[in-house]
A and B are shown apart, each in its own frame.
Chain A
Amino acid sequence: MSLVLDMVGKTVGEEMHLEDISLTLEPGRLNVLLGPTLAGKTTLMRIMAGLERPTSGRVLEGGVDVTRTSVRKRSVAMVYQQFVNYPSLTVYENIASPLRIARLPRAEIDRRVREMARMLHIERLLDRLPAQLSGGQQQRCAIARALVKRARLLLLDEPLVNLDYKLREELRVELRDLFARQETTVVYATTEPLEALMMGGRVIVLDEGRLLQSGPTAEVYHRPGNVAVARVFSDPPMNLVTVAVRNGVAMVAGGLHIPLRGHLANLPDGRHSFGIRAAHLSTRRRREEDLEIVTEVTLAEVSGSETFVHVHHAGVDWVLQEEGVHEYALGEPLRVYLDPADLYAFDHLGVLEAAPPIALGRR
């Protein structure tokens, strides 16, 4: 059964939380809801679940209007940021609880609980109480409770943020495989572009209560429709600079000239915004065509096994992402290389004009 949102809006008091969201979720598919905090992800999920009523628009399930149908009468399961389990019930009873409320026969409950526990690798913890589990195990239990219902719609609201890095990676891979085996329509909310990319499926990019773009995740990543999507769907946000194009050359403040070839060749004269992802800036020359910018380091932060270097050149700030852990002194001069083939071009309204061709086998 497909879920359709038709011009859904939500205002609380004077505040706009969601504005005219129209979406179609295909049955059995994985949808990633990507957006920064306060983008309206949770509100949208609550409306999808029926926990909240939209102030305008309709929610249709399989063509039937369910906008005012209470959550109890819908087929929904949800996983939260917090680890939500019944504190006085064992893991077994927690997983069984939705089935008990649905009055399934004992043998069927037992079979499904054990199957779920095996899939989530908590079969040895069935007799424990939630308080006796680690965070990761508690969330596994909560996910098992959500999946065991076999609801038509499964909502996950940033389920992995409260877990540590390693566990997050591990569970993410498992979840992706689990979802692939289910017939449930899944909506997975996250703030992290990388997580969205790893989950795959379709992505719905949300920002400040507005739907920016939706489509196959990889496609949206490679061809962000506008500057806002490019910012949300890059971590760190995409570097953007204003350029003036004249006679096939783009001029950046500070005397940098970019010859326009390939996908950029047909840009009309005038003002444009060029964007480049931090991972595509380098401290080494990789190709003959690379442009060199002599910059000054303003900040270097290590994140995991990568280093984000913030640099400054002629009034423009850039962030570049480098493999490995590196140390830079504040104010240190740094040569940064940029391949024009990696540039995105947006017009003065921020709409995408040209994107780098998707080269197979490359990045």
Chain B
Amino acid sequence: MDKPTNNGAWLLVVPVVLLVAFNAVMPLMAVVNYSVQDIFGPGQAYWVGTEWYREVLGDTRLHEALLRQFLFSGLVLLIEIPLGVLIALAMPRRGWAVSLVLVILALPLLIPWNVIGTIWIIFTRPDIGLLGYSLNSLGIPFDHTASPLDAWITLMLMEVWHWTPLVVLLAYAGLKAIPEAFYQAAAIDGASAWKVFRYIQLPKMRGVLTIAVLLRFMDSFLIYAEPFVLTGGGPGNATTFPSIYLVKVALGQFDLGPAGAFSVIYFLIVLLFSWLFYQVLQNVGRGKAR
């Protein structure tokens, strides 16, 4: 073999390998470790096999948290994606107004998560909050600390207000990338505004909307900071999502085994659904012959 080899080239991959190892592989392996052992302290770990998994899968409180989570993420996608596309369609395409609208839209994205919770706590307080006080003055009782429905409404409002701009920005980028000739061709064909949306704008936004759906699904499915700050998971367990429950189990009760097992399951669920969304979005409405 006279193929030149350069062993030094391996050095070039080392940074990435290290980064991925410390960032993803080692934490994940640690979690897998916890999930199959019972750990009492340093050097006192006992192999328990699938015991924690069986325990976790039978935990009704966790089932409820997961159901709650699917409902929440479903609502997030159903509201934010169409709303984001609608706002993007209504946005100006040129002129000074573009920069103004973009900056205003991007503002919620710039605020840290924990601050967002605090803002909304104050905003919805029945005694001093603008929204809470106004609603109660109108005779509509509203208190997210007392009513589960009010807690959900507040949480959804907060989530939609916080993250729809991201969908808008992505959809707007997709719309801007469509050459003018497509709109002209549609006008010459005599296509209606709906047909332009359905056959030009929507297909051309497929790529960015796929990213938007994946990002919004993953982020909303892992939601923690907002309900933690706003309601702490309450009232009752009304806003206890898996991530909040997980932290309670892992840090509150220090049950590392079940927490590890659930983390692995949680991870697999997110992975599975992200893959499903990707497959569906890549293939919907194409390749079908007449």
Contacts and interface: CB of A to CB of B under 8 A. Distances in A.
A68 to B, nearest CB: 15
A102 B188 CA distance: 12
B284 to A, nearest CB: 9
Contacts of B179: 82, 84
Contact of B187 (A71, A81, A102): A71
Contacts of A49: 188
B20 interface: no
Which residue among A81, A84, A93 has the maximum number of chain B CB atoms within 10 Å of its CB?
A84
Interface of B is mostly: helix
A86 B203 contact: yes
B3 interface: no
A76 B181 CA distance: 15
A72 B190 contact: yes
Nearest to A110: B290
A93 B188 contact: no
B190 A101 contact: yes
Contacts of A72: 187, 190
Contacts of B185: 78, 80, 84
A92 B204 CA distance: 19
Contacts of A92: 289-290
A51 interface: yes
B184 interface: yes
A97 B189 contact: yes
Contacts of B191: 97, 101
B188 A80 contact: no
B43 interface: no
Contacts of A71: 187-188
B161 interface: no
B283 to A, nearest CB: 11
B277 interface: no
A217 B185 CA distance: 29
A84 B182 CA distance: 6
Contacts of B203: 86-88
Interface size class of A (residues with CB under 8 A): 20 to 34
Pick from B181, B182, B202 the residue with the most CB of A within 10 Å: B181
A80 B191 CA distance: 17
Contact of A87 (B188, B204, B289): B204
Tell me which of A82, A86, A90, A129 has the highest count of chain B C-beta atoms within 10 A of its own C-beta. Answer: A86
A167 B172 CA distance: 36
A88 B199 contact: yes
A92 to B, nearest CB: 6
A7 interface: no
Interface string B249-282: 0000000000000000000000000000000000
Contacts of B182: 84
Contact of A86 (B181, B184, B199, B289): B199
A78 B186 CA distance: 10
B287 interface: yes
A77 interface: yes
Contacts of A84: 179, 181-182, 185
A90 B288 CA distance: 8
Nearest to A157: B181
* Of B188, B199, B203, most A-chain CB atoms within 10 Å: B188
B286 interface: yes
B289 A90 contact: yes
B184 A51 contact: yes
A101 B286 contact: no
Contact of A82 (B181, B187, B199, B200): B181
Nearest to A72: B190
Interface string B161-204: 00000000000000000010110110111110001000110111
Interface in A19-72: 46, 49, 51, 71-72
A7 B189 CA distance: 28
A208 to B, nearest CB: 23
B285 interface: yes
B290 A51 contact: no
A304 B190 CA distance: 42
B70 to A, nearest CB: 29
Contacts of B184: 46, 51, 78, 80
Nearest to B204: A87
A89 interface: yes
Given A87-B203, A89-B199, A78 B290 contact: no
A98 interface: yes
24 contacts: A46-B184, A49-B188, A51-B188, A71-B188, A72-B187, A76-B188, A77-B188, A78-B185, A80-B185, A81-B181, A84-B182, A86-B200, A87-B199, A87-B200, A88-B199, A88-B203, A88-B286, A90-B290, A92-B289, A93-B290, A97-B189, A98-B190, A101-B195, A129-B286
Interface of B: 179, 181-182, 184-185, 187-191, 195, 199-200, 202-204, 285-290
